[in-house]
Chains A and B, each alone.
Chain A
Amino acid sequence: MSTWLHLARGPLFWTALAFMVLGLVRQLGLTLWETARVYRRAGDKDLPVGRVVRETGSWLVPVRHFGKRWPYSLTTFVFHVGVILVPLLLAGHVELWRAGLGISWPALPNVVSTTLTLLVIAAALALVLERAIARASRALGRFSDYSLPLFIAVPFVSGLLVMHPTWNPFATDPTLLVHVLSADVLLFLVPLTKLSHMILFPLTQLVSEMAWHFPPDAGSRVAETLGKEGEPI
C-alpha cells in the first residue's frame, strides 16, 4: 500500500502536474499565437476592446448572468469557487508544498475548507441531477458531461474522509490512495477535456470577437483554391 501511495504522491503526481501545466501552456500559447495571427491578417484592426473586457469580466464573476435558471447558475458558481480554492488553499496542501518545494502561502481555516468541500460534493451531485432534469442540458449532455463532475467529486469526498477520520468507515491509507490517484487522473484529464476552459476561459470573448475580423481577401483566395474564380454566381 505504502509503495502505491508513494508512487501516486510522488512520480505520478509530478508527471500529471507537469502534463497538465504543459498541456495548458501549450493551449494558451497556441490560442494567443493564433489570436495574434488573426489580428495581423485582419483587414479591420479596430477591436472593441472595452466591450470585450467588459464581457470577459462579467463572466469571471457571473452574478449578473444568473437570470431565470439561477439555481443552476448558483450551483455552478459554488462548484467553481470550491474546486478552485480548496486544492490550492487547504492547509494540508499548503503544508505539502512547503515541505516539497519550500514555497508557501496562506491557507484557509480548516472549517472553511471542510464547508467548501461539502459544498463542492453537493454541487457536483446537483449539477448532474440538474443536467438530467433540465430539458435542454439533458438533450445536449454527453457521457463526459455527467461523468466529469462526478469524477471531480471523488478527490473531494476522499479528501474529506482523510481530513475527518472519525467520519471515515474505511482505513486511512486506501482512502488517501483513492484521493491522490483520482486527483492525479484529474490533472491528466484537464488538457484533454473541456476542463481546459480553466486556462482558455478568459480568452473566449476575445476569440469570438476576433472571428469576425476576416482577412480582406479570404473570399477570393477561397475561390482561387476551389477553382471558382470568375465563375458566375
Chain B
Amino acid sequence: MATPKRYAYHVEAAALELSDRPRRFLEAFAAILRHGSYNLALDTYARMSAKCGRCAASCQLYEATGDPQDIPCHRSELLLRVYRRYFMQSGPLKARIFGGFTLTDEYIDEMADAYYRCTACRRCKATCPLGMDHGLVTHLARWVLAEVGVIPRALVVSVREQLDGKTHNTSAIPLPALKDTCEFLSEELHDIYSVDIEYPFDVEGSEYVFFPAVSDYLMEADTLMGNAAVMHATGASWTIGSHNYDGINYGLFYSDRVMERIVHQLVDEVGRVKGRKVLVGECGHATRSAWHIPTFIGPDGPPVVHCIQYAHQMLELGKLKLKPEKIPESVTYHDPCNIARVGRITEEPREILKAICSDYREMTPNRTKNYCCGGGGGTVSIDEIRAFRTGPLGMRKADQIRDTGAEIVVSPCANCKKQLRELCQDNGMEEVQVMGLHDLLLKVIDFGTDGGNGAGEAQEGDVDEESEPTATGAASSGGVGVTASAQSGAAGGPDGEEG
C-alpha cells in the first residue's frame, strides 16, 4: 500500500486522490464551528494575537530548529488566517480592500505538515500573555484536516480497527491472545514473586474496569504485572472487559468526532460489565481522553481513576505494603504532558518514587513546565518521522535526561516510553532504561508471606466488593508511607524555571 509521499508522514492513498479540497476544508471548518465551541477561542485569538514571540522560547521544536515556521504563534496563525478570511464578519471586506488570501491546495499542504510538527503538548500556552493555547489550535486544525483525509496512516489504521474492526482495539489483539498474555503474566508473577495473581475478566459489578493502552499487553509486561500486583495486594475489585480493553483514544490527536465515538465505546463496556469506575493504566493521552468522559457522556458517566492515583492512595491509607529495600539505581521522572500540563497528576508519582527509590533525581524543568518527550500528539506512532522525533523534536528531552545522569527514566505513559526509548537509542544513551512506574513499584511490593496468599482469594472471579485490604503481611514492612519517607534525590526541587 505504498503511497506517494506528500507529507513528512504517510497518509492513505484515498486522501491523496481527493479533489476540491479547499471547498471541502471550508465546509468541514464551517460545520465544526457551527456544532462545536471553538469559535470563542478563535475569535479572541484572531483579534488579539500580539505576535510578541514569547512563546517561541518555550517550544522544544523551535528551540532546536530556530525555524520561524516552528514558532507556535506562527503555526496557529495558519489556521487563524483561514478563520479571519472566511468566518469573521470583517474577513470578506478586508479581503476586498487589501486584497485577500485565498485557501488553496498548497496552503492545506502547508498546514498538513505544520500541524504534525507540533505535539500539542501545550507547553507554550503558559508563556503567552494572551493565554493562546496552540495545542488547542493544533487539535482543531488536525480535525479539519482529517475531514479532507489528511490523517497520518498510522493513526487512522489503528482507529479503524478500534471502531470498525473485529477486535475493537488499536493493536488488533484478539481476545484469546489477550487471555494467553494475561495467563503468561500470571505465571511470571508466580515464578518471580511466588504470588498467585489472576487477571480477572468480565467480573460483573467490579469497582474498577481496567483500560490500559492496549499496546502494553504487547510491550509493557512489567507495567501490567505491576498494575495487577497493586490491585491484588490491595484486594481491589477490578476487571478487564472482554469486549473492549483498550484505553487508547487517537481521537484526541486528530478528530473530536472519533474521540466521541471511542469514549462512548469505552463507557458502554463499563456499563456492560456493570462496573463503577474507569481505571486507566499508565497512559497519558488515554487518561486525558477518559477525563473527557463528562464532556461526551455528561456528569453521570463513570468516574475516572488513574492507576497511579490509586496506588498512591492505597499507599497513603497503608493498604499497599512495601518491602523495606529500595530501588538502588538512580531514577528520574518524565511528566507526560497529558496528565501533568495542567497540574492534575504531578505529585503522586513523585511521592511514590521518592518512597521506593534511594536515588531519585528531578529533571529540570518539570511538572507543568516539563518538556514534551517529542512523541506527543500521536507523533510517536508515526514511525516514518522517527528521525524528526528523536532529532529536533526530542533533543531538549534527551538533554534533560542526560543532565540528570539517571540510569532509569520512569514515565507512566505508553507513548512517552516508546518515544523515550527511541530517543535514548538515537542519542547515544543506550544504557538508560525506560520504564513505567508500576514496573518499579512491582519490585518492592510486599505480598506478605512467601506463598501467594497475600491479598489472595478475592481475585477468583468473585471480587471483594468492599475493596478491603486482606493482606496478611501488614507487619513485615511497617508500610513505607508515601509522604513519610520522601527522600528526594540530587536535584529534587520545585518546578524548574521556564526556558
Contacts and interface: CB of A to CB of B under 8 A. Distances in A.
A216 interface: yes
Nearest to B38: A211
A158 B295 CA distance: 54
B131 A208 contact: yes
Contact of A44 (B256, B295, B497): B295
Given A51-B343, A208-B131, A219-B259, A139 B53 contact: yes
Contacts of A38: 37, 40
B68 interface: yes
B297 to A, nearest CB: 7
Secondary structure class of chain A's binding surface, majority of residues: helix
Contacts of B132: 204, 208
B66 A204 contact: no
B274 interface: no
A74 to B, nearest CB: 13
A95 interface: no
A48 B342 contact: yes
A233 B163 contact: yes
Given A194-B50, A219-B258, A136 B34 contact: no
A220 B53 contact: no
B306 to A, nearest CB: 17
Contacts of A197: 47-48, 50, 130
Nearest to A52: B131
A214 B37 contact: yes
B129 interface: yes
Instruction: Give the bracket for the number of chain B residues in contact with chain A.
Output: 35 or more
Contact of A221 (B35, B73, B497, B499): B35
A106 interface: no
A177 to B, nearest CB: 28
Given A134-B53, A196-B47, A207 B41 contact: yes
B494 interface: no
B261 A211 contact: no
Contact of A204 (B44, B57, B260): B44
B172 to A, nearest CB: 14
Contacts of B259: 219
A114 interface: no
Interface string B50-66: 11111011000010001
A200 B40 contact: no
Contacts of B54: 69, 72-73
Contact of A31 (B31, B44, B66, B499): B44
15 contacts: A44-B294, A44-B295, A44-B299, A55-B131, A136-B71, A137-B53, A139-B68, A141-B51, A145-B50, A196-B47, A216-B295, A216-B297, A218-B36, A218-B37, A233-B164
Interface of A: 27, 30-31, 34-35, 37-38, 41-46, 48, 51, 55-56, 59, 62, 65, 67-69, 72-73, 76, 131, 134-142, 145, 194, 196-197, 200-201, 203-205, 207-208, 210-223, 225-226, 228, 232-233
